[in-house]
Structure 1
């Protein structure tokens, strides 16, 4: 339980200071072990805890905000010395003369006299230091078991800078003061240089709370104060409001993952500025976690995921940032997914049609008038403010036909969705048509005799990348659009002679009982089954090689079976925990699939396959939430990945992983994106040229009888006298649960009624039914 006490010490400077953004030296460490931009040293008989030889230790259990704090553990002795420095990410030099104060939050669990606090001093980029200053000069007393704010005026260093250049300060040092020979532990958080505003921000308005199955979501209206730093969330516990978390200034949501259903909780929210001044608390709001039906589950998933494409979109262009933390870097392919997410948000009522079309119009206008294009194709990355290319690699600084095709897939769906006769919707359709017609697929054929389309072209390096597009992979949509292009089409023969020409395209083998007509052994990463099929509807049709709905369904089921078989013995894998695709992992970013399996599960893999495997995907969705939700569920839905082998949980969200979730869930629910994309006449014409024919074989309804079940703890015989049988339903249906003996005789009917989606338990007492029989079980 954390309480906050502010020790107010005011220092007025005669000069007027800039109220620009704070210089942050620490607010969170990417590692929960040590903070990399730090350096510590200890000598003589004094003691100082260091990690990885000379790094500042990190503490995740006690923090003021975010995910962790710094742990300063020291013992000061005569004849010894210690010092530890903290810097900003990448060790930049900062102009301290533009700020008023060094401020930070501190916490200790044991009594310490103010006189025994460390000293503080600064070091510049040339490793020149200021004289040391005693923290005790600015802290009269040290409270126990509560966070308190310490503010040190920069004027003391200006009046006596020593040899340091205050315009290029690199680090803030803490060091030994009095030699009291006692071990002390301080936790430090939110270390920064700030301009000394003393006026707190406005109280957050329109605070609301909404209960879901195991979490409560808070929302509020964003504060417009220019000095706003973020928001602090308080929860009522044992009659007192205590801090449970913080958010960034542009985040208007917070999730409290309670972990149980039927629990009520009350909250208040405060706003914080850059000087850590805090507003008064908001009005109290209360909500309760609750049972939910399948529609509510899916809407929860889509609405949370939608926020990445609405709230986190670039404010200037409306395009979608590549990932959390990307700032001005926007992704063209992920923005194409985002356009389809916007259509979903309108249809589901997350935003109004007017709001949604206004955002789409902003996007398409930016794409036409500001975004750089190379023979009609956009680059992989753009600057979301200027529209200039951001190179994806040394030679990748020009057009990216694959990313462009992902964008056009979304734009063509939007062209048909916005069908009203209004100035805005007329403009959307007109701009999209021009962008579509100006994409020079024929240029990316490279030569008139080539059977392939090429991924990249650069104005500086031409065809240096030299990457032919050939399957099986995620780029099928490029050939569909290239053949469909109204003004720059390529021959339909490229589909067979280029895209599907490699010997590895066809497969024909069975894996865990499921046949793959095309693709890698075991199918490869699941984004192969998603990216080209967000708009293109693979149902009820086939080409010369396969029915792609069936192939994608089997690919998905093979991955699930692989997780059940778990040949590498990875922790956590089972029929409810599976899904391998390209995503972040503990070691960076990788393309995960059975041949490259390091224990990383990516929620987007199973969830985006929902149109192919609705029962399996929905059950896995609920398992991810119920089992790992406290780690991987956030304000934008599921975080990118997790790895139980490495005890690692991503904090990131990626556009190309979030997009397929909301879009493919909607294609499962209403076929919205499939229907609108396929309304474009050019697509139907292209499919006929390629040779697609009708094939309705994949639309058989799924049986309500479980394909598999397990009765744990009761085998081998004898049957336990009292047994708890549990099961989970992804969809509502009639459930019959019967007990048989080994001869097939019915012993008891435990359940025979309609059940809503959810988790259930029933107790069977053998002694009340029969005596010491050899038991079996039957479920229907």
Structure 2
């Protein structure tokens, strides 16, 4: 414990000027502030992981919205271009959606990831248990009164008013995928804060009220054909986008099937997910077989990270013969092998610099992957892969921290992305990329979040219902 207390203080003496002008230094009034550090050399691998997890967590703790406590979507307020290469898969055309997201914009999925990171922070002793619980209770109390639609929340929300911030003309209501990330965080915290204090009991009751009210089955339109991503009070299901994969939305089916009051059926899961476009792959890339997904060489690595913040893939199989440990690890190894081959000859790519996933780039927000490689590395890709490729992820971490740290290390951890070819080093941080770094490194180190979420009785029931089993 003494090591945790001394390292930040010692390093801060040498790095104060580096971080003095960063907005993170302006405390939001929350107790237990975490002091940022610069590059600390000659430390053990374990100490390095401590620093990276703790500093990345600062994004949620120091930059959390002061009214709602939720995770802000990002820490810059400029107009961002969002590129979703699968929204219009039916006609093969990419969809560009632009929006101005100011300091009040909070992300529902990012908030769920932030709650998971907060559990890690308490368990590691970075913040006090009671202090952390008060923050999460603030979030829950805010959400109870905020916009939701049949118990399902929007993608973005104003952190002051609780009103929906539309993501698009038709996307101005419920987002079932983002809500599943939120509940992954809430149910994990409900497992963790299991004491008999009045506040812990209050919190668990609040989460259970939200959990029992969320109508996941509403997004099936009353049949077992498709589960739809969005519903709008003004546009109904006009967005008409089924949740199909394989991709980051597997957790949505698991959470939806686990609902005590409004569960989806196994038939819906089979028809909409398993029989949907692009579920099975089976091809071999760089000597690794990829069981699932329709991307050549695998899609962005967040496919293997968002769901598995809570779901432990090790020993997880389903009644279709899929080995999820193989899926998650091989997709990661394929992504790294592609970066080592580096067919487009981008500067910097190699065994210690890899990781293609969705994130900010010099072209806006892009779902980077071997099929859409623009020379941009997202640190979250390799760092959130620690449970699958610990040796290779540590190799990348040391390169990012020691070799590139003067360009990409900040008071909130690593910048979201960089491109040595284009001499571009991002300054932004995104909640959905920060959270997985904290959580997946912890799952590698202790399995904490896996144990908590997989220990939730409803989640166990949902997994069994959908045909999953653990060896």
Same-fold call, TM cutoff 0.5: yes
The one of 71, 77, 82 equivalent to 1:320 is 71
- Counterpart position of 1:516: 290
- Counterpart position of 2:379: 603
CA deviation vs aligned residue, 1:234-274 (integer Å, no higher than 9, x gap):
9xxxxxxxxx96334616856555xxxxxxxxxxxxxxxxx
Equivalent-residue separation in structure 2 for 1:678 and 1:591 (angstroms):
29
Instruction: Within 5 Å, give how 1:20-35 maps onto structure 2.
Output: none
- Counterpart position of 2:93: none
Instruction: Within 5 Å, give how 1:367-386 maps onto structure 2.
Output: 367-369=143-145, 371-386=146-161
- Counterpart position of 1:338: 114
Q: Which has the higher contact order (CA 8 A, sep 6+)?
A: 2
Q: Larger radius of gyration, structure 1 or 2?
A: 1
- Counterpart position of 1:734: none
Equivalent-residue separation in structure 2 for 1:510 and 1:612 (angstroms):
18
CA deviation vs aligned residue, 1:693-714 (integer Å, no higher than 9, x gap):
334xxxxxxxxxxxxxxxxxxx
The one of 440, 452, 456 equivalent to 1:676 is 452
Q: State how many pairs are aligned.
A: 430
Residue 295 (structure 1) aligned with residue 71 (structure 2): no
Instruction: Within 5 Å, give how 1:622-637 maps onto structure 2.
Output: 622-637=398-413
Residue 540 (structure 1) aligned with residue 315 (structure 2): yes
Equivalent-residue separation in structure 1 for 2:371 and 2:349 (angstroms):
16
The one of 390, 393, 400 equivalent to 2:175 is 400
Displacement after TM superposition at 1:646 (Å): 0.7
Give the TM-score, by structure 1 length: 0.54
Distance 1:666 1:254, change over 3 A: closer
The one of 243, 246, 250 equivalent to 1:472 is 246
Residue 525 (structure 1) aligned with residue 276 (structure 2): no
Retained in 2: the 8 A contact 1:632–1:651? yes
- Counterpart position of 1:650: 426
Equivalent-residue separation in structure 2 for 1:657 and 1:376 (angstroms):
26
Equivalent-residue separation in structure 1 for 2:148 and 2:178 (angstroms):
12
- Counterpart position of 2:87: none
Of Structure 1 and Structure 2, the greater helix share is in 2
Instruction: Within 5 Å, give how 1:43-442 maps onto structure 2.
Output: 209-211=9-11, 216-218=14-16, 233=17, 246-248=21-23, 250=26, 255-257=37-39, 289-325=40-76, 326-369=102-145, 371-442=146-217
Gaps of 5+ in 1: 1-207, 219-232, 235-243, 258-288, 696-780
Distance 1:503 1:459, change over 3 A: closer
Displacement after TM superposition at 1:504 (Å): 2.3
SS at 2:10 equivalent? strand
Instruction: Within 5 Å, give how 1:542-561 maps onto structure 2.
Output: 542-543=317-318, 544-561=320-337
Equivalent-residue separation in structure 2 for 1:481 and 1:612 (angstroms):
23
Gaps of 5+ in 2: 1-7, 28-32, 77-101
Equivalent-residue separation in structure 1 for 2:36 and 2:459 (angstroms):
42
Residue 499 (structure 1) aligned with residue 273 (structure 2): yes
Equivalent-residue separation in structure 2 for 1:550 and 1:577 (angstroms):
23
Retained in 2: the 8 A contact 1:373–1:379? yes
CA deviation vs aligned residue, 1:140-189 (integer Å, no higher than 9, x gap):
xxxxxxxxxxxxxxxxxxxxxxxxxxxxxxxxxxxxxxxxxxxxxxxxxx
Displacement after TM superposition at 1:503 (Å): 5.1
Distance 1:673 1:217, change over 3 A: farther
Retained in 1: the 8 A contact 2:224–2:267? no
Distance 1:675 1:245, change over 3 A: closer
CA deviation vs aligned residue, 1:276-303 (integer Å, no higher than 9, x gap):
xxxxxxxxxxxxx542112101100010
Equivalent-residue separation in structure 2 for 1:293 and 1:508 (angstroms):
39
- Counterpart position of 2:236: 462
Distance 1:456 1:341, change over 3 A: same
- Counterpart position of 2:416: 640
CA deviation vs aligned residue, 1:425-482 (integer Å, no higher than 9, x gap):
00111011111111101111112x2322111001111111111001111101111111
Retained in 2: the 8 A contact 1:534–1:673? yes
Distance 1:640 1:246, change over 3 A: same
Which region of structure 1 is more displaced relative to structure 2, 686-695 or 423-432? 686-695
Retained in 2: the 8 A contact 1:445–1:453? yes
Equivalent-residue separation in structure 2 for 1:417 and 1:254 (angstroms):
27
The one of 447, 453, 458 equivalent to 2:227 is 453
Equivalent-residue separation in structure 2 for 1:290 and 1:638 (angstroms):
17
The one of 415, 425, 444 equivalent to 2:219 is 444
SS at 1:598 equivalent? coil
Equivalent-residue separation in structure 1 for 2:183 and 2:61 (angstroms):
19
Displacement after TM superposition at 1:555 (Å): 0.4
Displacement after TM superposition at 1:587 (Å): 1.3
The one of 248, 264, 270 equivalent to 1:490 is 264
Retained in 2: the 8 A contact 1:209–1:216? no
Equivalent-residue separation in structure 1 for 2:352 and 2:394 (angstroms):
9
Equivalent-residue separation in structure 2 for 1:320 and 1:693 (angstroms):
33
Of Structure 1 and Structure 2, the greater strand share is in 1
Equivalent-residue separation in structure 1 for 2:221 and 2:326 (angstroms):
34
Retained in 2: the 8 A contact 1:209–1:217? no
Retained in 2: the 8 A contact 1:341–1:659? yes
Equivalent-residue separation in structure 1 for 2:387 and 2:38 (angstroms):
30
Equivalent-residue separation in structure 1 for 2:277 and 2:170 (angstroms):
29
